[in-house]
Structure 1
Amino acid sequence: MTARDAAEAEAFLAAHPEIRQIEAFLTDPSGVQRGKILRPEELAGAYRHGRPLPCSILSLDITGADVEETGLVWDEGDSDRDCRPVPGTLTLAPWLDTPTAQLVLTSYEKDGTPTDADPRHAVARIKAALEAAGLFPVVAIELEFYLVDREAMLAGRPRPPSGKTGFRQSQLQAYLLQDLEDFSPFLDEVYRGAEVMGLPARTLISEYAPGQFEIVLGHQTDALRAADDAVLFKRLVKGVAERHGYVATFMAKPYAAWSGSGMHVHASLADSAGSNLFAGEGEANSLLKFAIGGLLATMGESIAMFAPNANSYRRFRRNSYAPVGPAWGIDNRSVPVRVTAGPPASRHLEQRVAGADANPYIALATVLAGMLEGIEKQLDPGAPIIGNGYEQIEPSLPASWPDALAAAGASDFLPRRLGERFVEVYLAIKRAESERFFAEIPDLDYSLYLRLA
């Protein structure tokens, strides 16, 4: 770390003498934040020397269980890694009663090289590859989430909560302003928290189900910062929801009858002067088309990165705003890759495949990698879909978790672009987690088969 980076800590504590603790964390491959709580007097040292965390922290599945197949547990003696602060991410955690700051960490080996299994470094790798080609990604991540009644969730039967009026919505009512008004105390606090944290929270939408919302994060010229924003935003939403007596979930499909929650990645490429290389009318831009071609060509083998859990695959249904096969269109939400409408200078693509449960670093790295693949190989995406894509696209994406993991395991693209060791660790975690999941006997099995089989 540089003296300038360390000065960030000193300036922050001088501006916030009330701070009593700092939550310092990294995001593991499953998308969970794990780390330590530091005292203010420890912060300067963390910037100067980093903080040690055991290497097994990057081997954990969604339950927090070690996955020995990663080689990051006993094979390494569970030795420490040097986790360093990410400059610009030291901010307040405004939802906590104890005055608290938070700080994003990223992991390095003892020789100073990036830890291969850290998902944040996967973004850094592909960002560096793009920039070496004179292509600078401009990115925004858009997240959908549900608010759930806390008591119902504790009882194992999630349902939408009631807002300030006491009314509990049970209808779809997409884009209903009244829903935004009913939940305004929660939503207002989210926006206030985002301002305090420096997050570019923008448009708010009541989505296509009771208790489902979307808040759009503004574009960032630093792709790593866009992924950091998404991680910090999810923490903010969950923390504020708890204060209001709700549970906020980014689970891909919490209700069978209602729409799933997606993570939409908006991306364009700029030149070194900041000019949008995707700008132009309609389909004329060849760079944009090649980027789309890469996303379509790599979509099947990448599904395991966009859909990391068993529940993720319940979202992929026809007429659901979630994909069933590779396709693209112009201002068309029935396809997984959408070229947005608007002024030609703002032209960008929206990749709509990932669920809200995906790790933002991994999802973004995979999208950028697909774009670069298409550009380098000049992959033609074919003609855009016009009209209802669900009536024209043949379902061809992996429809189950085991199938998606098998496709990713057979991929040449993923390890080549994201890092061989990173993909090896990620797939080891998800294979072990999948095996554990399918070894459990759910209540539905007893209901269907116990008496009649």
Structure 2
Amino acid sequence: MTASPSGSLLSEALEFLDQHPEIEAVDIVLTDANGIGRGKIIRRHELAGLYENGRHLPISILGLDIVGEDVHETGLIWDAGDGDLRAWPIPGTLVPLYGTNPPRGQVLLSMYDLDGNPMTSDPRHALKRQVEAFAARGLYPAGAFELEFFLLANERDSEGRVQPARAVLDGRASGKTEVYSVDHLHGMEPLFSDIYKAAEAQRIPAETVISEYAPGQYELTLNYRKDILRAADDLLMLKRLVRMQARRHGVTACFMAKPIEAYAGSGMHLHVSMQDGDGNNVFTEATDGEWNPLLLNSLGGLAETIAESMLVFAPHANSWRRFVSQSYAPVAPTWGVNNRSVALRVPAGSKNARRIEHRPSGVDANPYLVAATVLAGIAKGIDEKCDPGPETTGNGYECERASGAEMPADWFSAIKAAETSTFLRDALGEDMHRTFTAIKRAEYLRVARTVSELDYHLYLHEV
């Protein structure tokens, strides 16, 4: 038996097998740069071996693009001979999958070199490194993600476009923006009931469900975690189970940032705060009416680094269709209090719950990389005492940040900014930065050379 560098213990696997004699197989899931789960399904009798010795998986898994093609520029394919490294279970993520037949479980993995050192193109290690850097300061990041998504019909409409799913309860259709409608939620009650049961089985703290600001759009919130690594695990596991339960109910859970052009896109807002060793929130103001300097400096660091970090927050071609004025997606690196038109929001509420809501990320982003980049921005702000500038009040879409800093205008601009960013290279680590930017450039070239239906619509008979 080899000591697990992830901290996983054989006793966790044996206890799980004892508690779940019905489970026949287990999904073992490694998360790549795009946030896609890749791995295998192993049989019940193989689980103990995974915990004893890890599992060899090809290094190339972490060098794949969105469609699963090798990106040779990552250096993870033939430069390494497509050799195997060793994946180990992430403690606390071995769970049953609700509703599977035959019954299965699931465990998340993280990749390590054969000598046990972290494989630094694994996105979870990028976040773990930032968490450890804060621990060395005596600070501990806490947080939670919000999950916005669409429930779509499996069939397209007569013009080939996606359309909102009918209610799974009675088949009722609605093309309305049923924002905050409780009655509308009732039509999806059987699906959300199963989602909550699945979340409970996986110990995911899923809470409020909302009918969001577009036909077929919903939001699930997650309870705050003292460990932001676990908060990112929660988000990945929740996306997986929502997709699975939706499929079982005959609809499609869509995590594109902007699936329907006429309506708002889907965000993945990250709420983040800092605790000291005694569990106190260090963003809390010491004097009523005066913002904590650490909070302001953190906002300043995040504002200063948004432009060069946008590729992490908006990683795909479709991501950039979400950033439209008055769409609830931010278009400038602004901050404000109780204001949803800004990029960095300080929510209303008790000062003891003081936190930053980071709003740029789409639901298509990788939560590990998002959280790693946000923490690095906060660290920069604290170290350099960055000034966030004046608070944005009122309509943030009509304001520009005083410094004149701007977000990239499009995906390719974001790729170029990320490739040359010293900050992002340090935030993600050199290997993860190279892997991520190489994958994004390869995906951009794939999109750029594709002749689409839009090309035919615009040019076929006109030029």
TM-score bracket, normalised by the shorter chain, equals: over 0.9
2:229 is the counterpart of 1:224: yes
**Residue 348 (1) aligns with residue 355 (2):** yes
| Fraction of identical pairs, as percent | 48
Cross-structure match for 1:423: 433
Secondary structure of the 1:205 match is strand
Question: Is the aligned partner of 1:119 residue 2:123?
Answer: yes
Residue type of the alignment partner of 1:133: R
| Cα displacement (A) at 1:326 | 0.3
Matched, 1:273 2:283: no
Is the counterpart of residue 408 in structure 1 residue 418 in structure 2?
yes
What is residue 215 of structure 1 aligned with on the other side? 220
Q: Which runs of 5+ in 1 are unaligned?
A: none
Secondary structure at 1:120 match in 2: helix
Number of the residue aligned with 2:59: 55
Query: Offset at 1:77?
Result: 0.8
Corresponding residue for 2:307?
A: 300
Of the three residues 250, 260, 267, the one matched with 1:262 is: 267
Amino acid across the alignment from 1:374: G
Judge which range, 159-168 or 304-313, deviates more. 159-168
Measure the CA separation in 2 of the matches of 1:423 and 1:387: 37
3-state SS in 2 of match to 1:151: coil
Distance 1:154 1:347 in 2: 48
State how far apart, in whole Å, the 2-side matches of 1:120 and 1:283 are. Answer: 36
Distance 2:277 2:213 in 1: 39
CA-based RMSD of the aligned residues comes to 1.4
Matching residue within 168, 177, 191 for 1:172: 177
> Equivalent of 1:129, from 133, 151, 163?
133
In the superposition, relative to structure 1, how do residues 72 and 153 fare at CA in structure 2: closer, same or farther (>3 Å)? farther
More displaced 10-residue stretch of structure 1: 413-422 or 350-359: 413-422
Could you tell me how far 1:79 is from its partner in structure 2? 0.2
Q: Runs of at least 4 residues of structure 1 off by over 3 A?
A: 1-4, 153-156
What is the distance in 2 between the residues matched to 1:94 and 1:418? 34
Distance (whole Å) between structure 1 residues aligned to residue 94 and residue 44 of structure 2: 12
Cα distance in 1 for partners of 2:248, 2:159 equals: 19
Residues of 2 paired with 1:353 and 1:283: CA distance? 26
CA contact (8 A) 1:96 1:239 kept: no
Instruction: Give the Cα–Cα distance (whole angstroms) in 1 for the partners of residues 425 and 193 of structure 2.
Output: 42
Gapped regions of structure 2 (runs ≥ 5) = none
- 1:156 positional shift: 4.3
User: Is it true that 1:87 corresponds to 2:91 in the alignment?
Assistant: yes
Task: Identify the residue that residue 206 of structure 2 maps to in structure 1.
Answer: 201
* Matches of 1:227 and 1:408, distance apart in 2: 22
Aligned-pair distance for 1:155? 8.7
Using a 3 Å threshold, how does the CA distance of structure 1 residues 283 and 262 change in structure 2: closer, same or farther?
farther
Q: Which residue of 2 is the match for residue 337 of structure 1?
A: 344
What number of residue pairs does the alignment pair up? Answer: 453
Candidates 319, 333, 341, aligned match of 1:326: 333
- Whether the 8 Å contact between 1:95 and 1:239 is mirrored in structure 2 is no
Shift of 1:202: 1.0
Alpha-carbon distance change, 155 to 448 in structure 1, aligned in 2, over 3 angstroms:
closer
- Decide which of 152, 163, 169 is 1:148's aligned counterpart: 152
After TM superposition, give the deviation of residue 396 of structure 1 in Å.
2.3
Match of 1:187? 192
3-state SS of the aligned residue for 2:209? strand
Residue 300 of structure 1 aligns to a residue whose secondary structure is helix
Deviations 1:371-401 (A, max 9, x none): 1111111101011111010011378211211
Comparing 197-206 and 152-161, the one that deviates more: 152-161
Q: Which of 233, 238, 259 matches 1:233? A: 238
**CA positional deviation for 1:162:** 1.1
TM-superposed CA distance for 1:418, in Å, is 1.8
- Indicate whether 1:27 and 2:34 are aligned: no
Could you tell which deviates more after superposition, 325-334 or 367-376? 367-376
- Conserved? CA contact 1:324–1:393, under 8 Å: no
Alpha-carbon distance, 1:112 to partner: 1.3
Q: Which letter maps to 2:379?
A: L
Deviations 1:303-358 (A, max 9, x none): 00011110000001100111111000001000010001111111111000000000
Name the SS for the 1:266 alignment partner.
Answer: strand
Distance 1:439 1:154 in 2: 27
Query: Which residue of structure 1 lines up, in the alignment, with residue 69 of structure 2?
Result: 65
Give the AA of the match of 1:89. T
For residues 96-141 of structure 1, what are the alpha-carbon distances to aligned partners after superposition, in whole Å with 9 as ceiling and x for unaligned? 2220000000000122111111000010011111111111001101
Change (3 A) 1:158 1:32: same
Q: Secondary structure at the match of 1:258?
A: coil
Q: Distance in 2 between matches of 1:145 and 1:84?
A: 30
Q: Which residue of 2 aligns with 1:10?
A: 14
Match in the other structure for 2:370: 363
1:452 offset after TM fit, Å? 1.2
**TM-score of the aligned structures, taking structure 2 as reference length:** 0.96
2:165 corresponds to: 161
Q: Residue 95 of structure 1 contacts residue 236 of structure 1 at CA under 8 Å; is this kept in 2? A: no
Q: In 2, Cα distance between the equivalents of 1:296 and 1:283? A: 20
Task: Return the offset for 1:157.
Answer: 2.1
Calculate the TM-score normalised by the size of structure 1: 0.98
Match of 1:316 among 323, 326, 334: 323
> Contact (CA 8 Å) 2:146, 2:222: kept in 1 or not?
yes
Whichever residue aligns with residue 371 of structure 2, its letter is: L
Tell me the CA shift for residue 166 of structure 1. 2.5
